[in-house]
Homo-oligomer: A and B are copies of this chain.
Amino acid sequence: MSQSSDCVIIREVGLRDGLQSIARILPTEQKKEWIRGAWDAGQREIEVGSFVPARLLPQLADTAELVAFAKTLPGLVVSVLVPNLKGAEHAMESGADLMLLPLSASHAHSLANLRKTPDEVLAEIARIRAARDAAGSNCLLEVGISTAFGCTIQGRVEPSEVLRLLQAALDAGVDRVGLADTVGYADPRAVKHLFERALVIAGDRLDCGHFHDTRGLGMANVMAAFDLGITRFDASLAGIGGCPHAPGASGNVASEDLAYLFASMGVDTGIDIDRLLTLRSRVAAWLQGEPLHGTLWRAGLPKTMQRARAVRS
């Protein structure tokens, strides 16, 4: 674990990756409460929504309003997902700090999710970069290589294709890249091997690990990437999440469990876990009946960690 850091960013993606997988539409006021609660708990990067057409994802139709609200919270990095140039234009207009564009390494998933081949998406990424330059926007452009470890539609995804797309995205002028196990097929060895090769290509620009806990390996996969020096991870409160075009792809790693993982190891995330658990119970009440995940909330913090906090305060 020689390369691992003592400071990690957990980007909250529950409001986007989580809520897009749930049919019910959470009222905008509750989403704002969630964003404020996450900020109160110390989270400093939140993906608040997605600039996709409202007819496709009505759950996320209020993204512009959420960006405006989130921008009032000091120090908060506001991320949004964008599927194309149109979405990117909305993101830049909204004042978001970062736009995340998914690029599926699985051809089949790319067609199902964006109706474009990966290379067509790459061409769109180049147009987005050009549009940002023309607009003089400083909105960061991040590409997440999704289905990087396999795909529920296509099955196997070749690491060489993932790396080709990663290089091509960098060539198209993106600021950051990440690797996403969209459907929960990764294992720690696969994570180690792919991230090692991706780091050779992208260096510091490889800045995000996105893991689902679909088959119980989420935390172990996070650790495999962390051990290579990755210090920014997506996670979702109560582990909600999935992908509408990847059947059975439920469950991001739970933010509260991830915060606990790092806190246990003495790695700073800036997160107050008690506050995050309180927020979790509020969000869980709003989402009653939906499948929630995560483990820490049942047992609570260890006695040793409670005592450490009591001494500090």
Contact = CB atoms under 8 A, between A and B. Distances in A.
A180 to B, nearest CB: 15
A3 interface: no
A302 interface: yes
A229 interface: no
Interface string A154-184: 0110000000000000000000000000011
A7 to B, nearest CB: 15
Contact of A216 (B183, B260, B307): B260
A219 B218 CA distance: 9
A250 interface: yes
A147 to B, nearest CB: 11
Nearest to A224: B223
Interface in A205-254: 213-217, 219-220, 222-224, 248, 250, 254
Residue of A192, A220, A295 ringed by the most chain B CB atoms within 10 A: A220
Residue of A190, A219, A296 ringed by the most chain B CB atoms within 10 A: A219
A213 B261 CA distance: 12
A1 interface: yes
A303 interface: yes
A144 B303 CA distance: 22
Contacts of A190: 264-265
B302 A189 contact: no
Contacts of A187: 261, 264-265
Nearest to A214: B299
Contacts of A184: 299, 302
A243 to B, nearest CB: 13
Given A214-B295, A260-B215, A299-B215, A156 B265 contact: no
Interface in A290-308: 294-296, 298-300, 302-304, 307
Contacts of A214: 295, 299
A257 interface: yes
Contacts of A213: 295
A34 interface: no
Given A223-B224, A254-B216, A265-B187, A303 B1 contact: no
Interface of A: 1, 150-152, 155-156, 183-185, 187-190, 192, 213-217, 219-220, 222-224, 248, 250, 254, 257, 260-261, 264-266, 294-296, 298-300, 302-304, 307
17 contacts: A150-B302, A155-B303, A155-B307, A184-B302, A185-B302, A187-B261, A188-B223, A189-B264, A190-B264, A215-B296, A216-B254, A216-B295, A217-B219, A219-B219, A223-B223, A248-B299, A250-B299
